[in-house]
Structure 1
Amino acid sequence: MAERLVTGDNAPAFTLQDSTGKDVSLAPRPGRSTIVYFYPAASTPGCTKEACDFRDSLASLQAAGFDVLGISPDPVEKLAKFADKESLTFPLLSDADHAVAEAYGAWGEKKNYGKTYEGLIRSTIVVDPDGKVALAQYNVRATGHVAKLRRDLNLDA
């Protein structure tokens, strides 16, 4: 299993394709932090709930200096359908070979209905303007996660 990131670590750099096929990179941005959240599969109930929660909080997150990037192992075409269907206005990135998820400690052993397998671990990493990890949360719940994240970041709910 990949090593999990902790506060103060350098966030691994990456460039992935978004739902429109455009390359998006994580790069330090003066005055802006980035919420990088990893989700298992577009258009599933939990992932849809989480994405819609981020969508509904996006304006206030951006006003507070946070941008949002969603990352899953889904292909670009599936992300495009998901973004369109749910009116998602933040980048959804395709990590088909799960290399970025591995670098962020968001890929590893999971258990479901007694079966053990390798897969994406629902995780959220907040990267500060200097490219350092400000907050790392693993095995988060889809429902209520954005509200909890807002509390953890000391943002008004």
Structure 2
Amino acid sequence: MLEAGDKAPDFDLATDTGRVSLASLKGKNVVLYFYPKDDTAGCTSEALQFSSEVEEFAKLGAVIIGVSKDSAASHAKFRKKHDLTVELAADTTGEIVEAYGAWVEKSMYGRKYMGVDRSTFLIDREGVVRDVWRKVKVPNHIKAVLTAAKALKEASPK
């Protein structure tokens, strides 16, 4: 399981505006968050909250990327419908979701199934994972990530 201090797995994923890779973001801090599905209540709330703080994260030299197994076309509709400003990447094969340990067994009403664990990774400018949040509850989560991003910026001002 990926933890703080580990090298972040590289990725190269489609977005609704092109492609994004971890290698292309070297030199920036990255907030990489995984969410289950476009346009569902919790995922919409999380995306809206991250979108509302894009400028604050940018001041800290950080970019925000949301990842789900939805297609880039689905992301485009989701972003347009809710006027989202975060970049959304499509991991339709689930390879990156698995590499980050966000593909987990879940249980609902006694039925077990595999799904995306709502989780967030703060990755530094060199591609090292600095903070990990798993089983994220949306209320107050973005504030915690912003606080960690501020601490990371202060620890390595450039």
Same fold (TM over 0.5): yes
How many residue pairs end up in the alignment?
150
For 1:64-107, what per-residue CA distance to the aligned partner results, in whole angstroms no more than 9, with x for missing partners? Answer: 11110000011111110001111112210011111100000010
Structure 1-normalised TM-score? 0.90
Does structure 2 conserve the Cα–Cα contact (< 8 Å) formed by 1:34 and 1:67?
yes
Does structure 1 conserve the Cα–Cα contact (< 8 Å) formed by 2:122 and 2:149?
no
User: Distance between the aligned counterparts of 1:86 and 1:26, measured in 2?
Assistant: 26
Gaps of 5+ in 2: 152-158
Gaps of 5+ in 1: none
Of the three residues 137, 140, 155, the one matched with 2:136 is 140
For 1:26-55, what per-residue CA distance to the aligned partner results, in whole angstroms no more than 9, with x for missing partners? Answer: 12522x200000000010010000000000
SS in 2 for 1:41: coil
User: Distance between the aligned counterparts of 2:150 and 2:20, measured in 1?
Assistant: 28
Structure with more of its chain in helix, by fraction: 2
SS in 1 for 2:53: helix
User: Distance between the aligned counterparts of 2:12 and 2:20, measured in 1?
Assistant: 5
1:8 corresponds in structure 2 to: 5
Would you say 1:59 and 2:55 are equivalent positions? yes
Once the two structures are overlaid, the 10-residue window that deviates more, 108-117 or 54-63, is 108-117
Of the three residues 97, 104, 120, the one matched with 1:101 is 97
* Alpha-carbon shift at residue 111 of structure 1 (Å): 1.4
User: Distance between the aligned counterparts of 2:114 and 2:67, measured in 1?
Assistant: 17
* Alpha-carbon shift at residue 19 of structure 1 (Å): 1.7
1:120 corresponds in structure 2 to: 116
Letter in 1 for 2:13: L
Would you say 1:38 and 2:31 are equivalent positions? no
* Alpha-carbon shift at residue 154 of structure 1 (Å): 4.5
Of the three residues 145, 152, 155, the one matched with 1:149 is 145
1:110 corresponds in structure 2 to: 106
Does structure 2 conserve the Cα–Cα contact (< 8 Å) formed by 1:46 and 1:143?
no
User: Distance between the aligned counterparts of 1:23 and 1:92, measured in 2?
Assistant: 10
RMSD over equivalenced CA pairs, Å: 1.3
Structure 2-normalised TM-score? 0.89
Letter in 2 for 1:12: P
Percent of pairs with identical residues: 37
